[in-house]
Amino acid sequence: MHTSDQAPQGDGFQRHFSLEEFRANMRARLKDVEIPALHGQHEQLVELIVRLYGEVRTLQKETPDTDSVASLRGTLQELKSYATRHFQEEEAFMHRINYPGVTAHCEAHRVFVKSLLDLEARIWRESISFVVDLLHLVVGWLFQHINQLDMGYARFSKGGVLPKGVTEPRASPALQGSSGIGPASGQTGREISFRESMLLRLRKTGIDPFDQEHVELMNRIVHINTLTKRLTSRPPTPKDWAEIDQAVEFLMAYTRYHFSGEEAWMNKVGYPKRGEHAQEHQRLLARLKELVERLTQERNVYFIVDMNLFVTEWFLTHTVRADSLYGEFAKSRKLS
């Protein structure tokens, strides 16, 4: 374990919020499944994530010492234990009400736990800075899982029927949407709502080429989720995997293209935080490459969901916070 590493740089997500602001943001995003025991557990999971966020803030301000490392270990252990108990109770509830999507829902739990354990192992084996990746994973996965996948059993428990228009088990914790700029024909209200919420969170930098590229990156992420949605109710075929591979390859290539353009511009205009910004880019690319390699080795559709949730949360927090900083710099210097 490399606890002697320098404190992780962060990505603006951690620098932007105070602890109370982060808690308020998390609570505002949390939907109520209207099953008091389970909603209460979701709220407790949010509190554990807030604690984890506090640990990250501490680690970013100073070189990790014995006390801070011990505190992080304790928080991660409590998060794992509580999430495990919650998943067990949630799965028992779904079995009691004969929820048709229980099998796929349990598989989503299993994949999340595996991802969490994999990242934790890297924290202690390689570098404590991987705690930032773990934070992005749990924030992105928790809210997309609760606000979409969990709402399926919530609706079913009230009426004993699947949501309108669903005729077979559906288990996509992925984000919904289309790859076009405007609402696509045939989109559900939920899909359009997600797309609009993404655009609302995507703050403009004021530099038109980069803002256009951010929208295109968002479209790539949404497109992969659209593909994933089709594949969580039936076994993927070789043709499906070829389509997924092509979409993921394009996402990686376009991300590299966008990052290289941003970095060249920052160097040209002398942006003072360009070194830190470029490090964040390299971190995302390295993590994305790892996730893609795992998907290639283990053809599991939920690994696509896992990958896209990580990229989505990282992308939005990076563009909204870190990219807005160079946007403010450009505005102050009247740069285009």
* Mean of pLDDT over the chain: 77
3-class state of residue 282 by DSSP: helix
pLDDT of residue 203: 79
| Average pLDDT over every residue of 12-20 | 56
CATH of domain 13-159: 1.20.120.50
Residue 336: band (very low, low, confident or very high) from pLDDT cuts 50, 70, 90:
low
Smallest Cα–Cα separation from 131: which of 65, 67, 75, 173? 75
Q: Which long-range contacts (CB under 8 A, 24 or more apart) does 70-75 make?
A: 72/123, 72/128, 72/131, 75/48, 75/51
3-class state of residue 170 by DSSP: coil
Smallest Cα–Cα separation from 224: which of 295, 287, 163? 295
Q: In this structure, is the dihedral angle defined by the CA atoms of residues 161, 164, 169 and 175, taken in order, positive or negative?
A: negative
Rg of the Cα atoms in the chain: 20
Q: Enumerate residues 6+ apart whose C-beta is below 8 A from 65.
A: none
Residues of the chain with CATH 1.20.120.50: 13-159, 189-333
The predicted model scores a pTM of 0.55
DSSP string for 86-109: HHHHHHHHHHHTT-TTHHHHHHHH
CATH of domain 189-333: 1.20.120.50
pLDDT of residue 95: 92
Q: Among 144-148, 170-174, 310-314, which stretch is predicted with the lowest mean pLDDT? A: 170-174
Backbone angles phi, psi at 332, to 5 degrees: -65, -30
Residue 94: band (very low, low, confident or very high) from pLDDT cuts 50, 70, 90:
very high
For 242-300, what is each residue's pLDDT tens digit? 888 888 888 888 889 999 999 999 999 999 988 888 988 888 888 888 888 888 887 87
